[in-house]
Structure 1
Amino acid sequence: MTGTALPAAAAATATLLLLLSISGGIGRLAAGAREPFACDPKDERARGFPFCQASSPVPERARDLVGRLTLQEKAKLLGNDAAAVPRLGIKGYEWWSEALHGVSNVGPGTRFGGDFPGATSFPQVITTAASFNASLWEAIGQVVSDEARAMYNGGMGGLTYWSPNINILRDPRWGRGQETPGEDPVVVGQYAASYVRGLQGAEGDGGGRLKVAACCKHFTAYDLDNWNGIDRYHFNARVSKQDMEDTFSVPFRMCVMEGKVASVMCSYNQVNGIPTCADPNLLRKTVRGAWRLDGYVVSDCDSVGVFYGNQHYTSTPQQAVADAIKAGLDLDCGPFLAKHTEEAVRGGLMNEADIDGALLNTLAVQMRLGMFDGEPSAQAYGTLGPKDVCTPAHQELALEAARQGIVLLKNQGPALPLSPRRHRAVAIIGPNSDVTVTMVGNYAGVACGYTTPLQGIGKYTKTIHQQGCADVACSDDKLFEGAIQAARGADATVLVMGLDQSIEAEFKDRDSLLLPGRQQELVSKVAMASKGPTVLVLMSGGPVDISFAKNDLRVAAILWAGYPGQAGGTAIADILFGATNPGGKLPMTWYPQDYLASVPMTVMDMRPTRSNLYPGRTYRFYGGPVVYPFGHGLSYTHFVHTLASAPSTVVVPLAGRRPANATMGPGKAVRVTHARCARLSLGVQLDVQNAGARDGAHTVLVFSTPPKDGGARWAPPRSQLVGFQRVHVAAGARERVGINIHVCKSLSVVDGAGVRRIPMGEHRLQIGDVVHSVSLQAEPLRVI
């Protein structure tokens, strides 16, 4: 399944527009018949069960079913490998499936083979996030759920997918940073809401039917796997109220409240001494209470067993079960709850009603998925089958996602794009130059097919291939000479270097930001020998300190491809040769290597601390030197911003009774809970002109800086992304972009007590070179 040809570029635009404008099934060919999970119309018993009446409200159906279960049956439904209930006509179900960037076989709920040899493998999330294109993110979710439903109908997959991963990329060493949409809470939250909407379908927004059930994970402050002898099973993340409110909680709140996700997964680690899967303030009070989760809470795999056996948080397994379920956990990834729940009830540690509450949440999701509605083929999405997986349209979208996510970091000269006419022979060098599975990153399935960088470039010109290093570890220079000779004999040289899952992965955090082994030496020696322009292409999830290449005049251009998915080689080649104009922007800061010396992974503080020279994290709080900043990305054309309209003053109406002198001046702030936030937004109209000779896509990034007065009390971000939009502009043309900035959400800050406030006074908006000030003023209300 390698080297699958992709559709011609001429068909790409129409195909992509179609994908972006539809939801639901694309194909209409019937799948292989799957037997009903429950409520089989051929089963006479099913006709009399109220829980089988599809026309009845889901809560009523779930309550009826729970009322028919014995304690033993209930306990066996609490794990991911949920047992069958034969007397009620209910089959067993495997809850654990994954769909991080395509249907995956990482979880036991999904497998490939037979009519489903593979599924479309999109770029790793960090690459897709670099597109800053919410429409694309939702379109990918729609395609993934089409293929997931098709595989379910064919008996090869489940309907509950524990994706996406929306943890903040807080530390550049984190091995799982590749799975995330980056370091900015708003971008991560928007990605979560968009991807979840695509996965769950339009009806899933607000308690309706679900196409598949998504899950936002890992809640919360989980971003350390194994660093310096400390692993995720034993780590206690000490997080301030301020950081929790304005960083770690933001994406999850957006996922639940805006994306209407059907599930949230709690993490392995403790937060301030309490395991997240046993913390009622996090699960019951926040996720289900304040954010109103309509769905279930699931543990990361064996998390309950971990906080009992590894963290020794409870003295008995039964107490661990009771703590977890009473805190708000509904489902266990693992056998722990199924094994110990009966004993916990019989021992008086919890009531059977606590279990009933958990099952009402999980069973309601299964019912919203149609699993209790009889024949799958007769339901919505029931016609999806093998012909709806790896379709040309789906594979074209995977290619387009890679094109949109690749970031041009440097283009001296400019050296790019290359020309097949002038560069008739190109040396392709590097350990990632002819890879396949490396391009899809982790939590991937079996791809429809692969186009490697070598294959992609070979479609444009003659190639001279030398690996240079045996693998990304690049432990010796045995292959250097062949690479150097190839560069000397070619018209241009492309080095495809970087990382793979042997360097950064789940269970594996990095201890360095430099290229592994002798990769840097290879790049420098090849660049010195190359008679034509040298281009460095990097595959990685996390950032890499490539200051040497940035500052080397002999390295003319640098591309970051992340892990670009099954069509990564085609996308890289299309950008190198100018068929695609790069438009990606970095979703994370690229730090220098010496940043690590003053930043232990275990320190969770986002803000800098002068007393111990701690520099802070992410572009929002770190002000030191960088290799490349968040939002950096070049194009083959030039875009000019012009502010068309934006208010200079916004009045913040106060809620409830307030003194007549409630007007607040500089240095004052209104609690968000004291403002009338509904529809309180400011609109920015911006003209984007393409002043170059090539059509291109441009991402408008709007940053806000709060007033300086009172900043010491709030310790606000240095700047904060408050809006973004990707726009395509033809050469010489101008497009107007409108961005609405929600005042309470985007222009507020969080104080040391974790209270969100809206600072009064001058807020500075920055869009590229354009700076605009907006004065926020509180509206006085008279006491009646």
Structure 2
Amino acid sequence: MLHKRSRESLSMKWIIPILFFICSITYMYNYYKYVCKSNYDYPFQDPTLPIDIRLDNLMSLLTPEEKIDMLWMGATTADGELPNLSVPRLNIRGYSWMGQGYVYRSASNGCNINCYSSVIDGNVSVLPQGTGIASTWNKNLIFQSGIMISDESMAIQYNYKNKSIDYKTGASSVINIARDPRWGRVPETYGECPILTGEIAVAFNKGIMGYAKLEDTELEYGIYKVIPVMRHFVDYDGPDDGRFSFNAIISDNDLRTTYLPVWKKLIDEKAIVGVMSSISAVNGIPSAANKYLLNDVLRNEWNFTGYVISDCDPMGDIQKSFHYTATLEQAVAISVSSGNDINCGEEFKFLHKAISYGFVNFDTINLAIRRGLHSRFLSGNLDPIGTDPYSSIPYSIVDSIEHKLLTKQIVSESIVLLQNPKQILPFNLTKIKQIAVIGPSSNDITVQAHTYHGTPSKWITTLDGIQSIASKYNINVVHTWGASRKNTSDEDFQHAIELYNESDIILFVGGLDESFEEEDTDRNTLQLPGGQLELIKLLMKLNKPFAILIISGSPISEPYIINENSAALLWISYFGQSGDAIADILFGLSIPSGCLPFTIPIDTSQLLPIDDYSMNKSPGRTYRYLDYFKAPPLFPFGYGLTYSKFKMNSKLNIYPNKINNLDTDIVANINIINQGPFPAQFVTQLYYEFPNSTVIELPIRELLQFNKTLFKINEQKTISFTFRIRNIPYSNRQQIPGIINLWIGNSRDKYAQSTLIIDFDS
């Protein structure tokens, strides 16, 4: 006879298998009942089912060969597509895992790569380059620009006939930190500050992805509108020369305080889906095979659930440039095993051999394709045609009047006024009979297009914009190129001086173009190239209202212009389609409100070698670590003037100003009044520093929050910021010093400040 406890144990032993059997039978019954009654051939096609069920079903239907061949993107086709293998037997359409390379400026399929020759899909709106987006310091405006770009992407996707590839993705912003102004890809970035970069990237991505409002935490329709693929995780910050074999030596502290924070912010804010792995190596490991970064940090530590795709060139370099593996089969195996799910390129074809050689198992392949397909489901790409809520966006919205006005506003707010002696600007329209527009960039669309862009219906140059306004006021406009960017020729100097002498006011428009700074091309100087400065010096000796507009994607430093203090000086990034916005600023029809997204050094002697990734090595990199006594900047990060006069309280109000809990809400506010004479926007920037800290790994100073606000003439407003010490970067990495200084101003100039004390004994 069994003991009572033995009988109970026997019962428990059988009850679990019995319940499992019943559940399995029930599941199979419901599954086959569904298949028999459903209008869909397979459950994965049914958008009413949970994604996990749909994904499980699709994974069960795909062959091993199909799974591998969905992990790579082939060469560009005749019509400009970058296809991923379709599966006709399951009615799965072709798909691009990363769209095209300029969704941060134009629709993801706006010109099908053939941006520079022919336009296949018609015209699209074109935004400024990245540093121009960041110099607006306007998160809400950039959110609207993301909506505009994704609207145009979807209008093209669903209205362009005979399209063979689905574009629900786009190679989006370069969120690498512009730690060195000589790096050729600085123009594509959002500047040198992780905080500004993170805020702008989140705003743009949320507009791209389908959030109704910037502050929302859930998508408007529950699916991604366009998936932004962010570039490049995580070390790609120069040099571009030799980037396919360059090894960046980065300390863990610099990784955690400079190079990684933007990526974590995007994940925390639900503003990222695709990650493009980088090109160079980090601490001896090629980025596309860096398990620590792609798996341990990105997924295990931060819980990233999207997919990782390689850049379109470096996969083969794991073997042939870095010599990290002996064969290409080993290279693709270690890449996918390390967390690089998808290959932009064809090298992942070799995964078939890599599996047969035993370099990688199929569980790894399943995990990689599962991550990618999960994102496709979340974008609605695998739903029936016509069910995407964004498929109803009309084609008429592409390059529309409304979008032209929005791009113009973005350009207007991106312009940074650096110097304005004697209020030279704005030019007085009622007192001008003739204006001379001089300079190599004044009527050249290449400085608007730069690199990675779509094609608008019309490029409006700076000269075009000035002529349009001048014609309304009977002002004559004369123009000459004056000086070359390419050489020091003075053949047009005399003509430029003659036009200067016969005109009332003069505008010089110069700077750089893509031959000086772009992918594959770094700079070795911060000066104006060619004969531009020599011509400027000649013109500055004459005594007429003179303004200089510098067009570049990164800092141009000419101390002579500043020291002479006789010309107004403005900077603008490669600005896209809307040169009429520049004319509005010059004539006071709009008021400048942009601020620098980078530091402008005096010269290259203040810079570390471009291949040195240390942030705190003397004199320090970027405004966060720069020793202003050893290397005073020509213009600091965050600097920007306006035509109006703003006044604020001398003291920043902090409540409370003493805390013993890192989770206490702290409010900082300041009263600001616009004393005129123009209604204008003002960027209020809140910074902090640890004045008594001797920890060299901590930044010397850093932006905490910012706000851009419109003020009427004589209007006063209280600008408030709320934060917690717990949310300050680095607060969880070590003890926060007991005194924190906070100020309103820019990274150098403190217009109003206060002190916060942390005392755990109080």
| TM-score, with length taken from structure 1 | 0.85
Q: Partner amino acid for 1:494?
A: L
Question: Which residue number corresponds to residue 41 of structure 2?
Answer: 48
Looking at structure 1, the residues matched to 118 and 40 of structure 2 have their Cα atoms a distance apart, in angstroms, of: 35
For residues 207-228 of structure 1, the C-alpha deviation after alignment (integer angstroms, 9 at most, x for no partner) is 841001012210112111434x
Question: Which residue number corresponds to residue 63 of structure 1?
Answer: 56
Q: Is this contact kept in 2: 1:706–1:747, CA < 8 A? A: no
Question: Which residue number corresponds to residue 121 of structure 1?
Answer: 126
Question: Which residue number corresponds to residue 698 of structure 1?
Answer: 682
Looking at structure 1, the residues matched to 114 and 477 of structure 2 have their Cα atoms a distance apart, in angstroms, of: 39
Matches within 5 A, 1:292-691: 292-337=303-348, 339-375=349-385, 377-458=386-467, 459-460=469-470, 461-469=475-483, 471-529=484-542, 531-554=543-566, 556-567=567-578, 569-595=579-605, 599-608=608-617, 614-623=618-627, 624-642=631-649, 645-653=653-661, 680-691=664-675
Looking at structure 2, the residues matched to 317 and 650 of structure 1 have their Cα atoms a distance apart, in angstroms, of: 60
Looking at structure 2, the residues matched to 321 and 45 of structure 1 have their Cα atoms a distance apart, in angstroms, of: 40
Task: Name the % identity.
Answer: 30
For residue 210 of structure 1, the aligned residue among 224, 235, 257 is 224
Q: Partner amino acid for 1:504?
A: E
Looking at structure 2, the residues matched to 467 and 558 of structure 1 have their Cα atoms a distance apart, in angstroms, of: 19
Shift of 1:717: 1.5
In structure 2, relative to structure 1, the CA distance for the partners of 1:501 and 1:345 (3 Å cut) is same
Stretches of structure 1 that go unaligned for 5 or more consecutive residues are 1-43, 609-613, 654-674, 750-754
In structure 2, relative to structure 1, the CA distance for the partners of 1:110 and 1:147 (3 Å cut) is farther
Shift of 1:627: 1.4
Q: Is this contact kept in 1: 2:108–2:169, CA < 8 A? A: no
Shift of 1:110: 8.6
Shift of 1:263: 0.8
Q: Is this contact kept in 2: 1:260–1:294, CA < 8 A? A: no
Q: Is this contact kept in 1: 2:257–2:729, CA < 8 A? A: no
For residue 252 of structure 2, the aligned residue among 228, 238, 241 is 241
- The DSSP-based 3-state class of the residue aligned with 2:408 is helix
Q: Is this contact kept in 2: 1:589–1:626, CA < 8 A? A: yes
Stretches of structure 2 that go unaligned for 5 or more consecutive residues are 1-36, 74-82, 746-750
Looking at structure 1, the residues matched to 509 and 109 of structure 2 have their Cα atoms a distance apart, in angstroms, of: 28
Q: Partner amino acid for 1:93?
A: Y
For residue 279 of structure 1, the aligned residue among 285, 290, 315 is 290
In structure 2, relative to structure 1, the CA distance for the partners of 1:644 and 1:312 (3 Å cut) is closer
Shift of 1:580: 1.0
Looking at structure 2, the residues matched to 290 and 537 of structure 1 have their Cα atoms a distance apart, in angstroms, of: 46
Q: Is this contact kept in 2: 1:94–1:108, CA < 8 A? A: no
For residues 726-750 of structure 1, the C-alpha deviation after alignment (integer angstroms, 9 at most, x for no partner) is 011111111121212232232645x
Looking at structure 1, the residues matched to 240 and 135 of structure 2 have their Cα atoms a distance apart, in angstroms, of: 26
In structure 2, relative to structure 1, the CA distance for the partners of 1:107 and 1:575 (3 Å cut) is closer
Q: Is this contact kept in 2: 1:120–1:389, CA < 8 A? A: yes
Q: Partner amino acid for 2:583?
A: A
Shift of 1:758: 4.4
| TM-score, with length taken from structure 2 | 0.87
Question: Which residue number corresponds to residue 25 of structure 1?
Answer: none
Q: Is this contact kept in 2: 1:474–1:519, CA < 8 A? A: no
Q: Partner amino acid for 2:625?
A: F
Looking at structure 2, the residues matched to 522 and 593 of structure 1 have their Cα atoms a distance apart, in angstroms, of: 20
In structure 2, relative to structure 1, the CA distance for the partners of 1:574 and 1:603 (3 Å cut) is same
In structure 2, relative to structure 1, the CA distance for the partners of 1:109 and 1:257 (3 Å cut) is farther
Looking at structure 2, the residues matched to 114 and 415 of structure 1 have their Cα atoms a distance apart, in angstroms, of: 41
Looking at structure 2, the residues matched to 330 and 576 of structure 1 have their Cα atoms a distance apart, in angstroms, of: 49
Looking at structure 2, the residues matched to 779 and 50 of structure 1 have their Cα atoms a distance apart, in angstroms, of: 61
Larger Rg: 2
In structure 2, relative to structure 1, the CA distance for the partners of 1:110 and 1:652 (3 Å cut) is farther
Looking at structure 2, the residues matched to 282 and 652 of structure 1 have their Cα atoms a distance apart, in angstroms, of: 35
In structure 2, relative to structure 1, the CA distance for the partners of 1:317 and 1:45 (3 Å cut) is farther
- The DSSP-based 3-state class of the residue aligned with 2:500 is helix
Q: Is this contact kept in 2: 1:747–1:758, CA < 8 A? A: no
For residues 660-697 of structure 1, the C-alpha deviation after alignment (integer angstroms, 9 at most, x for no partner) is xxxxxxxxxxxxxxx6x5xx542212221112221110
Looking at structure 1, the residues matched to 271 and 729 of structure 2 have their Cα atoms a distance apart, in angstroms, of: 24
Looking at structure 1, the residues matched to 759 and 691 of structure 2 have their Cα atoms a distance apart, in angstroms, of: 12
Looking at structure 2, the residues matched to 422 and 325 of structure 1 have their Cα atoms a distance apart, in angstroms, of: 67
Looking at structure 1, the residues matched to 755 and 277 of structure 2 have their Cα atoms a distance apart, in angstroms, of: 40
In structure 2, relative to structure 1, the CA distance for the partners of 1:216 and 1:779 (3 Å cut) is farther
Q: Bigger relative contact order, structure 1 or 2, given CA contacts below 8 A and separation 6+?
A: 1
For residues 151-210 of structure 1, the C-alpha deviation after alignment (integer angstroms, 9 at most, x for no partner) is 111245611111011000100101110111110110011111111101001289568410
For residues 412-452 of structure 1, the C-alpha deviation after alignment (integer angstroms, 9 at most, x for no partner) is 01111101221221110000011223213321111232211
Q: Is this contact kept in 2: 1:175–1:509, CA < 8 A? A: yes
Question: Which residue number corresponds to residue 195 of structure 1?
Answer: 204
In structure 2, relative to structure 1, the CA distance for the partners of 1:742 and 1:143 (3 Å cut) is farther
Q: Is this contact kept in 1: 2:110–2:156, CA < 8 A? A: no
For residues 265-300 of structure 1, the C-alpha deviation after alignment (integer angstroms, 9 at most, x for no partner) is 110111111112111111111112222223111111
In structure 2, relative to structure 1, the CA distance for the partners of 1:468 and 1:319 (3 Å cut) is same
- The DSSP-based 3-state class of the residue aligned with 1:516 is coil
Of the structure 1 ranges 385-394 and 501-510, higher mean CA displacement relative to structure 2 is found in 385-394
Question: Which residue number corresponds to residue 140 of structure 2?
Answer: 135
- The DSSP-based 3-state class of the residue aligned with 1:209 is coil
Of the structure 1 ranges 639-648 and 758-767, higher mean CA displacement relative to structure 2 is found in 639-648
2:193 pairs with 1:181? no
Question: Which residue number corresponds to residue 24 of structure 1?
Answer: none
Looking at structure 2, the residues matched to 259 and 595 of structure 1 have their Cα atoms a distance apart, in angstroms, of: 41
Question: Which residue number corresponds to residue 9 of structure 1?
Answer: none
- The DSSP-based 3-state class of the residue aligned with 1:716 is coil
